[in-house]
């Protein structure tokens, strides 16, 4: 199978994820390619939000002046959950180096750490 072409508009995190998963180790059907594209775009969104969070206050004033968590904190949390579900939907096999006892959740967490998402 030919290596699928990266979708246009991907930023650094999305391109990195795309390259890692389309390097020939995995074969994806058309539905999985769409899921992978969505995961790459989510990785880019997460990267962008985290960049904004780096220079923003984590606590802001609410509608009545009360301290509340920055809306960016909620957004990054939600996008991470979407990213996790997209990666899980790809049902990637365990790495060859894995002991075979690694859970899906642990694999997803390691994946997120690697891609900064």
Each residue's pLDDT tens digit, 13-44: 999 999 999 999 899 999 999 999 999 999 99
Cβ contact 15:6 at 8 Å: yes
Task: Give residue 71's domain range.
Answer: 12-90+107-115
User: Does residue 84 belong to any structural domain of this protein?
Assistant: yes
Question: Does residue 25 or residue 103 have the better pLDDT?
Answer: 25
This prediction's pTM: 0.78
Instruction: Map residue 71 onto helix, strand or coil.
Output: helix
User: Does residue 58 belong to any structural domain of this protein?
Assistant: yes
Q: What is the pLDDT of residues 50-68, one digit of tens each?
A: 999 998 999 999 999 999 9
User: Does residue 1 belong to any structural domain of this protein?
Assistant: no
CA 62 remoteness from chain centre: 29
- Our count of domains for the chain comes to 1
Q: Which residue has the tokens 């790495």?
A: 95
């Amino acid at each position: 199978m030919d290596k699928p072409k990266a979708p246009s508009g991907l930023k650094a995190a999305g391109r990195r994820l795309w390259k890692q998963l389309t390097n020939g180790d995995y074969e994806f059907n058309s539905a999985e390619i769409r899921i992978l594209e969505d995961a790459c775009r989510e990785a880019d969104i997460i990267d962008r939000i985290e960049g904004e969070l780096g220079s923003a206050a984590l606590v802001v004033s609410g509608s009545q002046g009360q301290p509340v968590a920055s809306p960016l904190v909620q957004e990054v949390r939600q996008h991470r959950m979407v990213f996790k579900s997209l990666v899980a939907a790809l049902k990637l096999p365990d790495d060859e180096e894995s002991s075979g006892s690694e859970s899906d959740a642990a694999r997803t967490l390691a994946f997120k750490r690697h891609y900064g998402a």
